Amino acid sequence: MRDILTDLGEDPSREGLLDTPQRVAKAYQFLTQGYAQDPKAILQQALFAEAYDEMILVKDIEFYSLCEHHMLPFFGRAHVAYIPDGHIVGLSKIPRTVEVFARRLQVQERLTLQIRDAIDEVLQPLGAAVVIEAQHLCMMMRGVEKQSSRTTTSSMSGEFEKHRTRTEFMRLVQASS
């Protein structure tokens, strides 16, 4: 970090920058704490046998992540659904799972798949679906500089690959809160 400050033409020994390298290191440790967490273990902590077999949707899960290409933030909302097959998971575990994967250097496409795959593997539902809508500062602050652009990714498995179920999921995601 000191080298970067010097390359920018700054003086790393200047009062305001003296502790910047340590602050940046702490910030990146926090922003990438997902590497030290196991999302599957989080889901397994709160599995409950239940005969419910309709869609469960947790939507508008805020997340913040870092683009692995530029290490600039991207942020938005994740919408996660599954159809249980004998087991449900504590609702708070779904946003925690999103958070663990988001707190790693990421691309939005991989983030979407990782969330879906973890739910599929641990819950073994009849199907799972994830839609992520995000804004990327690497596109807003640099490069094409398009401040209003949003990127949407989705991944579906099982019952969500059927048109009717997918349509219901998308309708519920788009419904106003």
Q: Rounded to an integer, what is the distance from CA 65 to the centroid of its chain?
A: 7
**What phi and psi values does residue 20 have, to the nearest 5 degrees?**
-60, -45
Give residue-wise pLDDT tens across range 57-99: 999 999 999 999 999 999 999 999 999 999 999 999 999 999 9
Going by C-alpha positions, the residue among 81, 93, 83, 85 that lies closest to residue 46 is 93
Residues noted as catalytic: 67-70, 108, 136, 138
Residue 111 is inside which H or E element, if any?
Answer: helix 108-123
Q: What is the pLDDT, as a whole number, of residue 160?
A: 97
Does 143 score more than 90 pLDDT? no
Averaged pLDDT of the chain:
96
Burial 81-114 (b: 16+ CB within 10 A, else e): bbbbeebbbeeebbbbbbbbbbbbbbebeebbeb
Across 43-59, average pLDDT? 97
Contact 61, 79 (CB under 8 A): yes
Q: Which CATH architecture has domain 38-174?
A: 2-Layer Sandwich (3.30)
pLDDT of residue 62: 98
Amino acid type, 59: K
For the segment 13-35, what is each residue's pLDDT rounded down to a tens digit?
999 999 999 999 999 999 999 99
Residue 177's pLDDT is 60
Residues of the chain with CATH 3.30.1130.10: 38-174
pLDDT in tens, 160-169: 999 999 999 9
